Structure 1
Amino acid sequence: MEGAILLEISKRIKQYRTEKGFTVQELADLSDVSKGMISQIENGRSIPSLSVLLGIVSALQVNLSDFFKDISPDEEMILIKRKGDYEHFQKEGSSGFSYERFLTRSIKNSTVDIVFLTIEPDNYREQVSTDAFEYKYILSGEVQYIIGNDTYTLNEGDSLFFDGRLMHVPINKGKKPVRMLIIYFFDN
C-alpha cells in the first residue's frame, strides 16, 4: 500500500472511532488487538495486516464499501497544503511533543536532495523541468508558482508537492525575498 493510502485509512479509522464514541481501548478490545496497535495505526506509524484491518472495520460497524469509498491509489500530480491543513498528531508516550505531518508519499528507489532557496524580488526565469518529484515549503514571503498553465499563490507556511517533470517556475512579485525549503526526490 502506498503512503497516502495508508494515511487515509489511518485517518478513517480514527474518524469512525470518534464518531462512534469509542475510546482507543474500547476499539482495541472489540478488534482483539492492543491499544498500542490501534494508536500506531491511527497515527500512520503501523501498517495493519488485512485480518487486523478487517477486524477493526467490523468492530467499527462500518460497511467495507463505505470505509474504502474514494480511496484511490492514483495520487495527485500537484498537491497544495495550506498552513492550516497540516495534520497534527502526538506519538504515544510523547507528552509535550507536537508533530505536524506535512507530506507522506512513497517513492521507491529515490535519492533525496534537501536545499534552501532564496528568490530575490523581481527575479524571473523561464519554466524548467527536473527529473525529480519536488516538495516545497515556504519559510517566508509570498511566491507565485507556475506549473504548466496553472498559477498557485503560496504564502509562509504553505507547501507544494508535484512531479518536477512538469514545466514550472517560482516567481517573487513581492518586495521581500522568498525563502523556501526544497526536497527533491530523484529516481535511481
Structure 2
Amino acid sequence: MKQPRGAKRAERRISHHGRRIRHARLMKGYTLRQLAEIVDCSESMVSKLENSRLSPSLAMLHRLAEALDTTVPDLLIVGPQDDGADPVTVFPAERFVERPAQDGEENRLVWFDRVLPFDKQGLLQVNLLHLAPGAEQPRFLQHEGEEFIFVLDGTLDVIVKDHSYPVAAGGGIFFSSMLDHRYANTGTEVVRALWVNTPPTM
C-alpha cells in the first residue's frame, strides 16, 4: 500500500525526535524509569518515544524539555538530512595524513582542523588537534558530554582532575566532560589527535 504524501517525512521527523530525546536523557544520566517519573508518564511510553514508536504531544515535549534542561525547539530541530536519504560521509585516508601548515598556522602552537564542525543539529563533533611541542591548554575545562581522543602522532598528556594520562600514538582515552580536564604536549614532536565530542561544544 502506497504511503500518503508526507508520511515518510513524518516518520523521519519522529525518528529524529526520538534520537534527540534519548541523547538528552543519557546526557542527564537518567534511566528510562527516572525520566518517566519526572515527566509523569510510564516507562514504556518513554521507551516508545525514544524508539520512534510514538509521537510526543506538545504538552509532553514541554515536560521533556524542562526535565532534560533543553528546549522544545532543540528537540524538534530537523536537519536537511532528515528529509532525504540517511546521511553518509566518507573521508579518504588522505584526510588524516599529516599535511603542511596552512596560511596562518605556521606560528600557532595549537590549532583544530574541523573534521565534523560544530552543528547544533548534530550530536557529534570531530576535530583533528595539532599541538606543538611545549604547547598546552593552561586552564581546566568542564562541560556536559563525553569525549574520546585517539592520538595519531606524538604523545598527548591528558590531565583529568589531578591525574595526568600520557597517551602515545595509536592509543586513546575516553572520559566524561564533566570532569575537569586539559591537555599538554611535553614531548619534542607535534602531537596530532582525533578529538571526538558529544554533544558538540565549540
TM-score by length of 1: 0.40
* Structure with the higher strand share, 1 or 2: 1
